[in-house]
Amino acid sequence: MNKETIREMLVRGEKARKQALFPLLSEMGLTPGQGQAKILYRLLLKDRVTQKDLADQCRIDAAAMSRNIDKLEGLGLLVRESNPDCRRSFLICLTEKGYTEAKQIQKVFEQFEDIVSEGIAPEEIEVFFRVMEHMCTNLERFNAAESQT
């Protein structure tokens, strides 16, 4: 297997992932590919976090996170609350409507995991995770080195 094949498989997988999730997320009024579903899901796991912490958890840059929060706030799915620990930051919190949507997203993500892992042994999934972790680390290391030059 050559490196071009790895790249092609990653592109193919990402395209298939988007095609599977696009209709489900669009029905909810979310913009697929922008990280909005991931934001709501992360808030379901741990609500009342700073925008920076949320951006780090979702691996979204600060500007994109700000745009997403604005959109999700406009949809009534989350709110910004004053942060008692820091006057210059806000805590991002789910609304009741946001909680309901986040629970639906959790179901969509679980369904997606079931579809993707169908017919694959747990041991193979573990190997996949180790390999992908290694590849991501390689890419992150490369990107960090490139940004230094």
CATH (domain of 22): 1.10.10.10
pLDDT tens digits, one per residue of 72-115: 999 999 999 988 888 888 899 999 999 999 999 999 999 999 99
**Boundaries of domain holding 113:** 3-118
Residue 103: count other Cβ atoms within 10 Å of its Cβ.
14
Return the pLDDT at 147: 84
Same-domain status, 80 and 47: yes
Give the relative orientation of helices 62-74 and 51-58 as an angle to the nearest 10 degrees: 110
Residues 74 and 20 in one domain: yes
User: Are residues 86 and 139 located together in one domain of the fold?
Assistant: no
Place of tokens 């599977």: 20
Indicate whether 129 and 63 sit together in one domain: no
Q: What is the enclosing helix (H) or strand (E) of 94? A: strand 90-94
Q: Is 74 helix (H, G, I), strand (E, B) or coil?
A: helix
User: Is there a single domain that holds both residue 80 and residue 149?
Assistant: no
Listed as own residue / partner, the contacts of 86-90 with beta carbons closer than 8 Å and 24 or more positions apart are 86/50, 89/50, 89/51, 89/52, 90/50, 90/51
| Residue 78 shares a structural domain with residue 134 | no
| Residues in a beta bridge with 125 | none
Into how many domains does the chain fold? Answer: 2
pTM (2 decimals)?
0.83
Burial of 15 (0-12, 13-18, 19+ CB in 10 A): exposed
Q: Are 40 and 102 in contact (CB under 8 A)?
A: yes
Do residues 123 and 53 share a domain? no
Q: Report the candidate in 50, 20, 15 with the shortest Cα–Cα distance to residue 37.
A: 20
136 and 111 both lie in a single domain:
no
Residue 131 is predicted with a pLDDT of 96
Residues 97 and 110 in one domain: yes
What is the signed CA dihedral for 131, 135, 137, 139, rounded to 10 degrees? -170
Low-confidence residues in the chain, pLDDT < 50: none
pLDDT of 3: 66
Unique residue bearing structure tokens 């009534």: 76
Predicted pLDDT of residue 1: 59
